[in-house]
Amino acid sequence: MSQSRSTVDRLMADASGRRPRADARRNVERLVEAARIAVAEVGVGVSAHEIARRAGVGVGTFYRRIPSLDALLELVLVEILDEIGELADRAAQDRDPWHGFCAFAASYVRLRAESCGISEALGGACATGLAERLERLREHFRCLVERAQAAGAMRTDLAWQDVPFLLAAAATGGSTVGLRAGDQQWERNLRVILDGLRHAPSGQLPGAAPA
């Protein structure tokens, strides 16, 4: 996929300008793909040994081909956040602001529900290296929410800053109070939240908007 190739190219960059060997590139491609899957399943606490094992290479190969574990994880998270940004750009171009917002919300919550790592990153893990992307994502949220509100499609008594918290709440864990989530639980949660975003307020919201 193009996003993975972009990450591979950045990892394979050689100041000498020499073309990397084919086997070296294959190993980096396998490590990047393994890192994406491991970040989704395990989270940002995944180890270099685990990524190497999933890629089918030795940990020595990992450290010969990858500058550091932190560098690899940051690049993987950056490309995923860039993908979210592209989804937001497409949503902002939808002629129907509410339809565009809902499409983005569904993709965003699905990603949070399916990837431990991106959920952790959006919650503040690796924040230093991802600060620029998170700032862009906040701007995307502001744009999409204010666009839907201006069209009369979303209640106006909430701030755009409320919406990321509401969508994060839709990406629930697998169990609570001894109950197991259904296989479409996040979609059910999101439907209720979207209905709440559209409906007229029943009273003033308590407290201040998130900062």
134 and 38: one domain? no
Q: How many domains does the chain have?
A: 2
**96 torsion bin: left (phi>0), alpha (psi -120 to 50), beta (else):** beta
Residues 154 and 179 in one domain: yes
Same domain, 83 and 184: yes
In the listed set 44, 67, 90, which residue is the last one of a domain according to the structure? 67
- Cα(179)–Cα(199) distance, integer angstroms: 29
The one-digit pLDDT tens for each residue of the chain (211 residues) are 444 457 777 777 653 455 557 777 888 889 999 999 999 999 999 999 999 999 999 999 999 888 889 989 988 999 899 999 999 999 999 999 999 999 999 999 999 988 888 888 888 777 667 889 999 999 999 999 999 999 999 999 999 999 999 999 998 878 889 999 888 899 999 999 999 999 777 777 787 778 7
Residue type at position 142 = R
Domain end, chosen from 21, 51, 67, is at: 67
pTM: 0.84
Is residue 78 located within the same domain as residue 63? no
In a domain, residue 207? The reply is: no
Element of type H or E holding 187: helix 185-198
Whether residue 57 lies inside any domain: the answer is yes
Q: Is residue 205 part of a domain?
A: no
Please name the residues in contact with 129: beta carbons below 8 A apart, sequence gap of 6 or more. Answer: 70, 74, 77, 78
Does residue 88 belong to any structural domain of this protein? yes
Q: Are residues 22 and 92 in the same domain?
A: no
- One domain, residues 24 and 119: no
We report the CATH number of the domain holding residue 134 as: 1.10.357.10
**CB atoms near residue 60 (< 10 Å):** 9
Domain of 60 in residue numbering reads as: 2-67
- C-alpha atoms less than 13 angstroms from C-alpha of 136 in its C-beta half-sphere: 13
Q: Please tell me whether residues 53 and 78 are part of one structural domain.
A: no
Q: Domain boundary at 19, 50, 67, which?
A: 67
| Same-domain pairing of 39 and 119 | no
Q: Are residues 86 and 44 part of one domain?
A: no
Whether residue 186 lies inside any domain: the answer is: yes
Largest CA distance in the chain: 65
